[in-house]
Amino acid sequence: MNHLAIHNPATGALITTVVADDAATVADKAERARAAQAAWAATPLAARKACIERFAVAVRAELEPLAAIMTRETGKPIKMSRNELNGLMGRIDFFLGAVDATLATETVFADGGMTEQIDHTPLGVVANISAWNYPWFVGGNVFVPALLAGNAVLYKPSEYATLTGLAMARLLHAAGVPADVFITLVGEAEVGAALQAQPIDGLFFTGSHATGERIAKALGPRLVKLQLELGGKDPTYVCDDANPQVAAESLADGAMYNTGQSCCSVERIYVHARIHDAFVTAFLATVNSFKVGDPAVEDTYIGAITRAPQLAVLEDQVADAMAKGANLHCGGHRLPGPGNWFAPTVLTGVNHSMTIMQEESFGPVIGIQKVASDAEAVGLMNDTRYGLTAGVFTPNEARARALLAQVRAGTVYWNCCDRVSPRLPWSGYGDSGVGLTLSTYGIQTFTRPKAWHLRQA
């Protein structure tokens, strides 16, 4: 029997070990999900919604212990764990409110005895390989609408958020979702590979570009529906007419929230030369006010790095920038003691020859580059293989719209950042992935359209 050891990234201590899957148990679980899916799809939508409503009630009732579990296994500050769970409630409310109209049969033509309709039928068995940085958000974006649409779900939480994934399954089953309609798979990369090998009808993955590329190569010949959210190198431009203090406070939070471990964290900042120095001063003051410490303490803002290997990535990016002439204002190094810790880091004098302005950091590290014009800023924002989010700070909406219309990104922000709404689709350009979640499109993505041509005799 395989086992998975779960450690606290803030201390390095072993939390527990859990039984892990292998190729045989993955295949068995996939068969069970396939056998259970048809009956779930035949269950009236109102009954499926009632299960998700009870699930939401249960999450609310256990919010504090669930937040504590997430903080222990990911290093996320406890307030941010609580914020994630509270935010999940809004997403569930959206899906519950939108699903009836979204899945309703559409009559698109009716004339002379001929009627044309579109039905939205479930994909079938959906595999969800989820992420550790926002496990409730990223998982819920998939399994909530997938279940509502009548699919069975094989849910593989990240090995860094396994206990959270098991809690999801427990609460869903207690809420009435059949045990074989939502099944958790436990383990590391080999379990994900075994899941991909099953006869699934869709695979929804959030993680690194390298892993997403491997999944696409493996499943492409099988023509399985894919949704790959693969991160970004998200830029923001601060125009010369922006308030440098307001922009700095917002962007410091956007860059450092969740210890910089968000898919849509601000990872590149471009500031017009006229306000560059004032912005940097305000930015540093904000970052220096963030408390680094025990994630379980209420006022901690910067927690642990969840994955130890990421520490070397951050070190290498800072060293590369420094070697090429960047100015280090704070941080730039690991913090002493047990666990995975990296000091909040701010660099100026950066440019696009440096990896910190090209490759995803996924940590509390940010580069700020001075620009002379809007045109230069747009060119630099688009100088990336990614395209998840991008933002502009200016009091002039027309200026912001004109600039953001030129930027290749799935989500754009005016005077805000690092924000996700259940009402808007979450998607990316380029190496940020394919497909989408959220919005009504993120409900329909778990269905197949069936076209009906109906002629009266």
List, by residue number, the catalytic residues. Answer: 229, 263
Structure tokens at 115: 């009627």
Helices then strands, each counted (H, E), the chain: 14, 18
Q: In what order do the strands lie in the sheet with 114-122?
A: 106-111, 114-122, 447-455
Q: Which residue type, as a one-letter code, is found at position 267?
A: E
Cα distances (angstroms) measured from residue 335 to each of 13, 251, 305, 329: 17, 23, 11, 16
299's CB contacts (< 8 A; 6+ apart) are: 291
Please give the distance of CA 203 from its chain centroid, rounded to a whole number: 15
Distance, CA of 93 to CA of 371 (rounded, Å): 42
DSSP 8-state class, residue 438: S
Closest residue by Cα to residue 141 from 82, 77, 91: 91
Beta partners for 268? 235, 367
DSSP 8-state class, residue 426: B
